[in-house]
Structure 1
Amino acid sequence: MYLASVVAPSAGARVGRVFGYLGLVVLWAAILAVGIFATILALPGALGAAGPEGLGDSQLFRHSDTWLAVVLPLLALIFGAISVFVVTASLGALLAAATLFVRSLNPAYAGEQLSLSILTKDGEAVGPVSTAFTGVALSLIPVRLTRWTKIIVMIQFNAWLINGTLLLIGFLWGCTYLFTVGWMLWPVTGAGVIVCAVLSALPLVGIVWVVWRRRARFAEVVPTGAENSVYLNSWPRRTR
């Protein structure tokens, strides 16, 4: 099953794409590593130096903390959505690049184009302010669609295209992350550790529940440029 008409590449293009996809594997692996570090490890490291006796002793929390009731939920949504986007988008691109690199070495794919780009409509995808007027091209989309590449493309589409599921998962992740970092660096001691650990696990359970309950919706998130392709009528919406 193909997302576009098969175009036979030239001999030079077949050689060049091997190195091109390999370079993208290295690039996206580095971006993923930096993204994980920045969104998971950097903040605890910065907050860990907030006070000699822990986060509770820092200047940030020595005065009234009523502002936290308003700021923290908003911060959880913004931070969670950004971190989920960074990790998911780079993971999807890394998996796509790795798959396309392997295909570029496979003689069975020598006579066909391996990937394509799909242009989104204005404001449909995550990106700089200019994308609200120009749209953005989603690249590294495998042309030949299998169940494996359909999963990869779903990861890519759900990361880059603005949708409610991504925001909900991001909010739940932001809540568990900020709460966990907070009680670990406060620090909480004694029996409170058990209580806080259980509370930290609840949003993670919520993420699993959301992913499972909305599993059928992931395949419905699709850019306008691919609405009329075989993408929407392929697995998991239809057994192939």
Structure 2
Amino acid sequence: MYLASVVAPSAGARVGRVFGYLGLVVLWAAILAVGIFATILALPGALGAAGPEGLGDSQLFRHSDTWLAVFVLPLLALIFGAISVFVVTASLGALLAAATLSVRSLNPAYAGEQLSLSILTKDGEAVGPVSTAFTGVALSLIPVRLTRWTKIIVMIQFNAWLINGTLLLIGFLWGCTYLFTVGWMLWPVTGAGVIVCAVLSALPLVGIVWVVWRRRARFAEVVPTGAENSVYLNSWPRRTR
């Protein structure tokens, strides 16, 4: 099953794409590593530098307007969570796609066909700089030959780059559990409070699993305008025939 007409590449293109996809594997692996560090490890490291007394005695929290936190923290959880989920998911999807295409570039069974394509989204459809609201953005590293494995990869890519409610909900839940967990671990909470806080930290994670499971059928419905008339929508797991 193909997302586009099969185009036979030249001999030079077949050789070049081997190194091209391999280079993209290295690039996206580095971006994923930086993204994980920036969105998961950097904040605890920065806050941990507040001193051995913990966050409770730091200058940042000693004179804070606690009533304002009721409004600010949920918004911060949404913004931080959505950004971190986007960064990790988008780079993971691109890494998996690049790795798969790299393997295919070495497989003689794929020598006579184009391996990947780019799909242009409509204005304001995808995550990106302000200019994408007027120009759209091209989603690259989309495998041309669609199998169940590559369909999963493309679903990850589409759900990361295309703005959708599931991404925002998962991001909010992740932001809640992350900020809360970092907070009570660095405050620090001691004694029986550790068990209580650990249970409370796990609840949003359970919520993420529940959301993913309940909305599993909707992941395949997130598709850019440029792919709406392709076989993508009628392939597994949304096959209509």
Report the TM range for the smaller structure's normalisation: over 0.9
Q: How far, CA to CA, are the matches of 1:53 and 1:177 in structure 2?
A: 21
CA shift for structure 1 position 67: 4.2
CA shift for structure 1 position 50: 1.6
Contact 1:92 1:156 in 2 (8 A): yes
Q: Kindly tell me the number of residue pairs found equivalent between the two proteins.
A: 240
| Secondary structure class of the residue paired with 1:155 | helix
**Are 1:36 and 2:36 an aligned pair?**
yes
CA shift for structure 1 position 39: 0.4
| Secondary structure class of the residue paired with 2:6 | coil
Contact 1:122 1:135 in 2 (8 A): yes
| Secondary structure class of the residue paired with 1:113 | coil
Deviates more, 1:53-62 or 1:64-73: 64-73
Q: How far, CA to CA, are the matches of 1:75 and 1:61 in structure 2?
A: 16
Contact 1:54 1:185 in 2 (8 A): yes
Q: How far, CA to CA, are the matches of 1:64 and 1:86 in structure 2?
A: 30
Q: How far, CA to CA, are the matches of 1:67 and 1:39 in structure 2?
A: 26
CA shift for structure 1 position 65: 3.6
CA shift for structure 1 position 239: 7.5
Q: How far, CA to CA, are the matches of 2:76 and 2:64 in structure 1?
A: 18
Deviates more, 1:12-21 or 1:59-68: 59-68
Root mean square deviation of aligned Cα: 1.0
Equivalent residue, structure 2, for 1:142: 143
Q: How far, CA to CA, are the matches of 2:196 and 2:40 in structure 1?
A: 22
Q: How far, CA to CA, are the matches of 2:134 and 2:41 in structure 1?
A: 35
Q: How far, CA to CA, are the matches of 1:233 and 1:87 in structure 2?
A: 28
CA shift for structure 1 position 63: 1.9
CA shift for structure 1 position 220: 0.1
Contact 2:89 2:160 in 1 (8 A): yes
Q: How far, CA to CA, are the matches of 2:154 and 2:143 in structure 1?
A: 8
CA shift for structure 1 position 38: 0.4
Taking a change above 3 Å as real, the CA distance of residues 68 and 205 of structure 1, as seen in their structure-2 partners, is farther
Q: How far, CA to CA, are the matches of 1:210 and 1:24 in structure 2?
A: 31
1:104-162 superposed Cα distances (whole Å, 9 cap, x missing partner): 00000000000000000000000000000000000000000000000000000000000
1:196-218 superposed Cα distances (whole Å, 9 cap, x missing partner): 00000000000000000000000
**Are 1:111 and 2:112 an aligned pair?**
yes
**Are 1:18 and 2:15 an aligned pair?**
no
| Secondary structure class of the residue paired with 2:66 | coil
CA shift for structure 1 position 49: 1.0
| Secondary structure class of the residue paired with 1:193 | helix
Contact 2:234 2:240 in 1 (8 A): no
Q: How far, CA to CA, are the matches of 1:68 and 1:205 in structure 2?
A: 28
TM superposition outliers: structure 1 runs of 4+ over 4 Å: none
Gaps of 5+ in 1: none
1:31-87 superposed Cα distances (whole Å, 9 cap, x missing partner): 000000000000000000123300111111112442453411000000000000000
Identity, % of aligned positions: 100
| Secondary structure class of the residue paired with 1:67 | helix
| Secondary structure class of the residue paired with 1:45 | helix
Q: How far, CA to CA, are the matches of 1:53 and 1:26 in structure 2?
A: 41
Gaps of 5+ in 2: none
Contact 1:51 1:59 in 2 (8 A): no
| Secondary structure class of the residue paired with 1:101 | helix
| Secondary structure class of the residue paired with 1:138 | strand
| Secondary structure class of the residue paired with 2:114 | coil
Calculate the TM-score normalised by the size of structure 1. 0.98
Q: How far, CA to CA, are the matches of 1:68 and 1:215 in structure 2?
A: 36
Q: How far, CA to CA, are the matches of 1:239 and 1:105 in structure 2?
A: 33
